[in-house]
Structure formats: C-alpha cells, structure tokens
Structure 1
Amino acid sequence: MPEQSLSVALRENLLKYREEAKSMLFDLVSIQSISGQEGKAQRNLHRRFSALAGETYLIPMKESLRADAKFASGIDVPFEGRPQTRFFWQGKGKGRSLIACAHVDVVGPGDWKNAFEPRVEGDRLYGRGATDDKAAIVSIFLAVKVLQALGVRLLGDFEVHLTNEEEVGMAGALAFVREGFRADGVLVLEPTDHNIHIANRGCLQFKIHVEGKQAHLGNKRYGVNAIEKAAKIIDALVRYEDKLIEEGKGYPLFEKFEYPGQVNVGIIKGGDFFSIVPDSVTMDGGIGFLPMKTMAAVEKEFLDVIDKIGDPWLKDHCRVEFNGLKNEPYQMPLSHPLTDALMETLRFLGRNPEIGGMMATCDARYYFNQGGMPSIVYGGANSKLAHAKNEYADIMDVLETAVDYAAFLIDWCGTSD
C-alpha cells in the first residue's frame, strides 16, 4: 500500500491538474477519432506522452495482421497513417511489470449533432468519446505525470498502449500482442463505475442470405417468398436467445444480468416492389454469449438452429456467413494476485468495488487469450453513457480515477524508496 502521506499527496497534487484534465479531455474529444480515423488523435497523444519521462513510440499496424487467424474487424480501412502510441517507463529494479491499455477510437455520433464540439457545463464535459474512452486516457496520463512530479521511482516496468479499432474488433490490441509486448499484468482502462471486471462476454456477427423465387403477386403461390422464409429464421433465433438466457442465469460473474445472452437481427434487406414476390433477403445481426461457450460452439449451435427449422426450401436456399466480428469471451480465475492487488489498493483509498463480468467485449480478451497475460478492467464513472447521445465525463471523477491508477502503479510495480 502507498503510505497514507503519499496517498494524500497524490490526491492533493492531482487536484492541481484539474484545468489540465479539462483542457486535455476537451482537445481529445474535439478530434474525430471514429474507428479507422485515429491518426490525428494518436499523433496528439504521442506528443503529450513524449513530454513525460520515458520512451514514447508510434508503432505502425502491419497489413499482414489481417491474415492472422484471430483478426477480425468491422471496418475495411488501411492501417497506413494511423499508428498506435506506446509509452514505456522503465523500472529501477525487480518489481512486477504492468501494461495499461486504453482505446483511442470512438463510435460514430449517430444523430447527435456537434458530438465532436465538446461543451463544458459545470464539472461535466460533453462529447463523443468523453467517457468511452478518452477520460481514461487523461486519467492514466495524469497518474504518470503526478508520480514523476513527486519523484516516485517504480521498480517494475510500466507501459501504456493506446489502441485503434477497439470498437470494431480490437485489432489494435491484437497488434500490440503480436508485436511481443508482455507484462506481469494488464490493466485495461474502460468506464466500469469503479468496479473491477475480470471477464467479458463474447460476440459473434452473422449474415444470413435467404434465396426465394420471384413471381407476380397474382401468381404468388408459384413463387417462394424469401421474406416469409426469413421470418421463420427470426422466430427460431428468438427461441435460441431464450435458450442462451436460460443457460446463462446464475453463471459466475454475470449473476446480476437478467438477460445474459442475446441474439439480435439488426439489418434486414429484401424485396423491390410491393407486387413482386421477393427472391432474396439478407439479415445481419449478432450473438452475445458468456464465457461458458466457445466461439466454435456458438457457430455450430447457430447453424443447428436454422437446420432444425425443418423447412425443405431453407436447406438448399439459405447460407450463413461469420465473416464479421468474432469477439471471443475471456474470463480470469475468480481469485488472482492481480485482482487481489487492485482490490486492496481501492479499499485502501476508500472504495468498495464489486468484481464481475462485462456484458460487452474489450481489449482485455486479446491480452489474456492470445497474450497469456493476467488482464483486468477498471475505470471511472458513467459507463451507461458509453455510445449514448450526450455522453459526458465528470472532471473530478477523471482526477479521482487518476489517483486510483497512480496508487495501483505504486502497489503493483513497487517503488525504490
């Protein structure tokens, strides 16, 4: 634990950075870093982290990553011009090492006008990405800055990974892992309302093609209505969702979720004219599933659901693709030194966090599943505002979260004093 006097010093000094926190967050939110457009924000952050004691790099994402068996992305944008930022602060001894990871990309604004023109109302800063995930970037930046200002020397190595494409498949995290960066623990920075997440659910994107047979309305029975066939599939998927929910109830770390499984058809396209029997339909959607299932198992279950509809036409005229997002779930052991250490730090600071799982996916899965590193997720308030219209971050919470991060760095990495 940091000494009580050091804990007080962290809080007192971080409060002095209130205006800097507001200014930095304002600037970051002003940069439209929608997935695939992160270059300007990454260069801004490279410049900022370069002012800290340590080494800062811009690391290009390699196009060869697309051939990786674990690569998945919801966009098709070249990696050129949008490298990722890595900050490295070398430790002074034999302490435990840590990677902190936060993502630079944000989702689109939807119908939120002026989403990238941040506004400040009291202690709140509104704008797309304010809470997801740029507040966390400001918090970890200030955590390092205040530790260095106080002359703290960590024993273990510490580095920050600022990733691209988290919102569309987490290719940035995979890129860092494939570059070979490793640590004794990974802290993924996401808004968690100051709770600790040690698991996240998986997500599988699907596309269904249904072929029909075109005919005139007056000869409908001589055709095959692809929309009607698609409706049978939707009905079966609703029942599959019910099955996922029932299977997931009471699963450890996800007990609080009333609906622990999801199947959603989000896009349907079919038909050209009201009096023509449609000969094709495409449906795009996703499946959310708990770590109790593997990606391969869910793919098989999904295909079995359609096969068991028992419609002879569908057996030969329905095709399913899983070519989009394939976000694997991940789950840490229920007890682990990394989780225990963060819990101890937070309790020392007066917090009482819950340990649970995320009903979403994040960069942690690649660090844990492919990188083989213990990985947990922790961050500030307002998680329910992620992706929402009028998303905002509280500046005081940004600073308090920075205190949490700084104290944990001391506890996990150790200090030479």
Structure 2
Amino acid sequence: MSQLDTLRQTLAAHREEYLDILKQLVRCDTQCIGHGILGGKERAGLEVYEQVVRGMGAQVQLEPLDEDSVQRAICTYNDGNAGHNYDDRYNVYATFGKSEPGKRSIAFNAHMDVMPVGELSFWESDPFDPVVRDGKLYGRGSGDDKGGIAAAVAAVKLLQDSGIEIPGQVQLHCVSDEEGGGNGSINAAIKGHRADACVICEATGNNAIWAHMGFVFFKVEVTGKSLHSAQKWLGVNAIEKAWKLVEALHELENDWLMRYRHPHLPSPSLNIGVIEGGTAGSTVPDYCSFSLCLHYIPGMMTHAEVIRQVEQCIATRAQGDSWLREHQPKVTVYQQGQGFEQDVREPFPQAVKTAMEQVLPGYGGQFIVSSSGCDARIYKNILGMPTLIVGPGDDSVAHCPNEYVPLDEWYDAILLYAQIILGWCS
C-alpha cells in the first residue's frame, strides 16, 4: 500500500475526530473589533488551538503582538497598519519535527481572528454553534480561516495517526489580527519565524493562488462652514466639497483602467466604502470624511506611486476650488499591504502542483490569482520565502452571514496538506 493510500485509509477512519477540531475552533467567538484597530477576541480560540497542538506533542511558543514590529515593517517594507490595540493578542507557533541536513521545513499560516457576525437575524443558525447541513459546516470562521487552521493541524495528526514520520520540520503559525491588515503575520516575519516554504491556508477551493493585488486604505477629511440651511449660500457644505474629491478619484480610477492591464490579475480598482458628515438636514455640514480602499497591480504599479497619485489627485482638485485651496483636505493612510507574486516555475510551487495532482485528480493543480490581498505578501516580500495560498472553502462567502466550508473539500485539504509535507520536506 502506498503512503497516499495509507493516508486516505486513516483519514476515513478519523473523519469525525478531525472534524471536532474545526468545530471546537468555530465555537470560540474570536471576532476582531473595529477591523482589528480597537482589538480582538482571539484568545479564546488560541487557547483551544494551543491545547490541541500540545496534545499532539508540538513545541509551542506564544508571542505577544507589538507595535514596534509593525513600525519596522512600515518603515522598511511599506507594509503594516499602525496603532492597533494588542491587549491580550498574540500568535501561537507549533513546531513538529526538526531541521536536518538534506531535509526541508514548511510553515502553514492561518489566522484566528474572524470578522464581526453582523445582524444575527440574517443567520440561519448561531454563528458560533457549528452546524452541518447538506455537506457543509456553517459558522463564523468556518471558511475564513478556522477551516484552514484545523486542516493544517489535522494534516499533521493524519501523518501521526498513519504512523508516518514527519520528514524535516513542520511549523504551524496561528496568528492574530489578520483581518486588520496582517499585523500578526508581520510580527511573525519581523521576529524571524521562517521556514523553507510557506502555505497560507486561506480559502481557495484547494487551488493555488500565486499572485494577489496590493491594497491601500485612505481616510480623507474635509472641513466646511456650518450655518442654518435657510442661508446655505453663506456657509460651506463639507459634504459637497468632499464629493468633488470623490469625483476626481473616480477619474483617476478610469485613467488606471486605461493604462494598466495584467494578463492574469484584474484591473486596479478604487472603492468609496464609508462616508460620514452632517448633523441634520437643516444644517450646512462643517465636516465630512470618506474612506476608500484601492487595489493595485503588483509589478506594474508601485506602492509608493499609488499613494503619491491619490494624494496628488486630491491636492490638484483642491487647488481648483477656492475654499479647499485655503482649507486643504487631510489625507491619511490607515491600512496598507503590498502585492504578491510567486514564480510558479520554482521548486516549491511545482511540489505543490504534484501533490494536488496526486490528491485531487480531475480538479487539482490549478494555479489562479486573487483580486484581494492576504498574508502571503508578508512571507514572500519580507522573509523571501516561496509562498502559495492554498486552502478549503470559497472566499465569496467569507465575511458573510451563513459562512460555510464544504466538508468534502475540507477533508481533501487535510490530505493535500499532508501530501505537500511529504513531497516538500523529504
């Protein structure tokens, strides 16, 4: 019997045991607060995760998040998100096996924080009570990203239960504050938690993402002059002034659409996601702010140039308005992440491709790209590690009510991760 046949047989015998790992994690409320800026509740899930991996014989390290690491990443790599609350927030690293001459190491990265559940009436069941319906496990974080965490843990357990010695070294990096822009993985990278290759366990339908867009979040603040609306001509409407800037940014986006085309990645995009201003319909608003997220194409557009163009666009439009010229809008970058590209011809992507073809005949081995960013950029750009994003689930249901992970796909991910370990580390 081949090793792969042994793994399949063992997986069939332990399906419910492995699924219980995922259920335990989903039961934990680990919501981020204020997009991670105000804090997060990861601890409950991290304690469960720590207990599981210690029971499997892992070497375990707990490491608090800190602002200094984030500031170093911002200054050196233009990546990171300053000013987050790190009270009771930390990463947990579990290591199995050891580094030996002639053998490789691999890291699996996944995050414990989940997005807020939102309006509970939109959920068909309690978001923190994992429920299996129609071959899917429902619950907040089931796909993003506790499905990935649990699959990586179960892959190591599968090797152990199959009596197969782990070749080389396997590291499981369970991080906090990913939803706030990746500060947990930035802490991991700046503090030197590296291996010979990395799998980011985000939802990809068990395909391999080799590139994703870069992203920058801006907040733009505009002041006006408040007055009773019956004499609006004597005041200055901050909302109307802000909208002039929004129109200018849409013109910039249209210019990018004409100039930048990538053979695989989508076009650059700019989304106005939040606008706030005014106190009453009878009052001319003296303040307005709006927040936007833009995604840009790595390689073709640089991080610094994108920021410069947005700031210049706003400044130029302000110069054409007598009020804004004297009352300059305030532009702040509050979240950012570089783009990510991995050469799929290198040995690690080819090892992953081989494992996918072995485990997932008929639909495996697909290399795809993503319009959204994740922590792959951090391991690739800061640590220089060969990195791919591979995991169970569909990212289109992440952050949504009734989030789920298909269980057949999740079990396939366990087997796939185990085969990647054997193929790469040996």
* Shared fold (TM-score, shorter chain, > 0.5): yes
**C-alpha separation in 1, matches of 2:143 and 2:405:** 5
CA contact (8 A) 1:227 1:278 kept: yes
Q: CA deviation at 1:396?
A: 2.4
Per-residue CA deviations over 1:301-347 (Å, capped at 9, x if unaligned) read 10122233232322332323334111111212252211111112111
Count of matched residue positions in the alignment of Structure 1 and Structure 2: 405
Match for 2:90 among 61, 83, 89?
83
Following superposition, the deviation at residue 300 of structure 1 comes to 0.7
Match of 1:59 in 2: 63
The aligned residue for residue 326 of structure 1 is: 336
CA shift at 1:101, angstroms?
0.6
* CA displacement, residues 117-171 of structure 1 (integer Å, 9 cap, x when unaligned): 2222242211110011111111111110111222322332221100111111111
The Cα offsets for residues 268-319 of structure 1, whole Å up to 9 and x where unpaired, read as: 1212232322222111221111212222111111012223323232233232
The counterpart of 2:313, out of the listed 302, 305, 328, is: 305
Deviations 1:353-396 (A, max 9, x none): 32232211111111111112111111113222111111111222
Which structure has more relative contact order (CA 8 Å, sep 6+)? It is 1
* Mapping of residues 313-392 of structure 1, within 5 Å: 313-349=323-359, 350=361, 351-392=363-404
Mark the CA change 1:214 to 1:383 in structure 2 (over 3 Å): closer, same or farther: closer
Encode CA deviations 1:182-217: one digit per residue, 9 max, x unaligned: 211111111101211112111111111111122333
Q: How big is the shift at 1:88?
A: 0.8
Distance in 2 between residues matched to 1:320 and 1:287, nearest whole Å: 18
Gaps of 5+ in 2: 33-39
Q: 2:227 aligns with which of 215, 218, 233?
A: 215
- Cα distance in 2 between the residues matched to 1:290 and 1:141: 33
Q: Which of residues 411, 414, 420 is equivalent to 1:402?
A: 414
The amino acid across from 1:336 in the alignment is: E
Aligned partner of 1:253 in structure 2 is 264
Paired residue for 1:288?
Answer: 295
- Does 2:241 match 1:229? yes
The answer to whether the 8 Å contact 1:61/1:84 transfers is yes
CA contact (8 A) 1:208 1:284 kept: yes
- Give the AA of the match of 1:106: V
Partner of 2:37: none
Q: What one-letter code is carried by the residue in structure 2 that aligns with 1:301?
A: Q
- Paired letter, 1:76: H
TM-score (norm 1): 0.91
* Cα drift, residue 93 of structure 1: 4.6
Q: Deviation of residue 58 (structure 1)? A: 1.9
Structure 1's 112 and 318: CA in aligned 2 closer, same or farther, altered over 3 A?
farther
Determine if contact 2:272/2:290 at 8 Å carries over to the other structure. yes
In the other structure, the counterpart of 2:54 is: 50
Structure 2: how far apart are the matches of 1:240 and 1:16? 57
Mapped pair 1:269 → 2:276: yes
Deviation at 1:109, TM superposition (A): 0.4
Change (3 A) 1:66 1:382: closer
Alignment partner of 1:22 out of 19, 23, 27: 19
Counterpart of 2:163 (choices 138, 151, 167) is 151
- What SS does the aligned partner of 1:300 have? helix
| Structure 1 unmatched runs, 5+ | none
Contact 2:214 2:295 in 1 (8 A): yes
Aligned identity (percent) is 29
2: CA distance between counterparts of 1:154 and 1:162?
20
Query: 1:334 & 1:143 partners in 2: Cα distance?
Result: 24
Aligned residue for 2:196, secondary structure, equals: coil
Matches within 5 A, 1:147-226: 147-226=159-238
What TM-score, normalized by structure 2, do the two folds share?
Answer: 0.89
- Cα distance in 1, alignment partners of residues 223 and 172 from structure 2: 49
Distance 1:253 1:59 in 2: 37
Verify: 1:98 aligned to 2:106, yes or no.
Answer: yes
Distance 1:13 1:75 in 2: 46
Residue deviations 1:34-75 (CA, integer Å, cap 9, x gap):
121101111110110111233122222234334334263487
Aligned-partner residue type, residue 142 of structure 1 = A
1:345–1:408 Cα contact (<8 Å) kept: yes
Is this contact kept in 1: 2:73–2:186, CA < 8 A? no
What SS does the aligned partner of 1:20 have?
A: helix
Change (3 A) 1:299 1:235: same
Name the counterpart of 1:110.
118
Call closer, same or farther: CA 1:372–1:275 in 2, change over 3 Å: same
> CA RMSD, aligned part only?
2.0
For 1:154 and 1:244, the matched residues in 2 are separated by: 48
Structure 1 stretch displaced more, 119-128 or 359-368: 119-128
Relative distance call for 1:275 and 1:67 in structure 2 (3 A) is same
**Does 322-331 or 364-373 show the bigger shift?**
322-331
Q: Tell me if the contact between 1:240 and 1:263 (Cα under 8 Å) persists in the aligned partners.
A: no
Question: AA paired with 1:337?
Answer: P
Q: Please give the secondary structure, in 2, of the residue aligned with 1:324.
A: strand
TM-superposed deviation, 1:111: 1.3
**Deviation per residue, 1:193-249 (Å, 9 max, x gap):** 121111211111111111112233333222222111111111122222223333443
